[in-house]
Amino acid sequence: MLCAQYSDVASRWALRSQSNHWPVGGIATEVSKARCWLRAFELMETYADRLMDLADASLIVAAEELKTCRVFTVDRDDFQTYRVRRGHRHLPVRIIG
């Protein structure tokens, strides 16, 4: 489930910011992070009519990176519109919560 995996990433980030070292098996490389940022801004342009913010875009990018469609959110209206890219397909978000 995305919520638990995203939480694990957040806790690793917290460890890294305190120690200035990446934990073993930590967050992706700089190249991967840059790709994620670009994808988030691409999504915000795509869904500009919904005024997608960085938080929403980050959840969609995390879902794409983790190869899941399941997202925990209370923002049902917007997330029913968003799609998760899987190869050439765009799959609906499966909302948990």
Note whether residue 47 is domain-resident: yes
pLDDT of residue 34: 84
Q: Which domain holds residue 42?
A: 2-16+26-96
pLDDT of residue 14: 45
Note whether residue 6 is domain-resident: yes
* Rounded Cα–Cα distance for residues 30 and 36 (Å): 10
Sequence-distant (6+) residues with CB within 8 A of 76 are 95
**Helix (H) / strand (E) containing 83:** strand 83-86
Note whether residue 34 is domain-resident: yes
**CA of 43: how far to CAs of 16, 59, 95, 97, in Å?**
27, 11, 18, 23
At 1 the three-state DSSP class reads coil
pLDDT of residue 31: 52
* Rounded Cα–Cα distance for residues 57 and 53 (Å): 6
84 pLDDT exceeds 60?
Answer: yes
Where do runs of H (alpha helix) occur along 47-89?
Answer: 54-65, 76-79
The number of folded domains in the chain is: 1
Share of the chain above pLDDT 70, in %: 67
For the record, the structure tokens of 56 come out as 């929403």
pLDDT, tens only, 47-60 = 999 999 999 999 99
**51 against 12, higher pLDDT:** 51
Note whether residue 21 is domain-resident: no
Note whether residue 54 is domain-resident: yes
19 pLDDT exceeds 80?
Answer: no
Note whether residue 42 is domain-resident: yes
User: Average pLDDT in the 33-38 region?
Assistant: 88
The pTM for the full model equals 0.68
Note whether residue 49 is domain-resident: yes
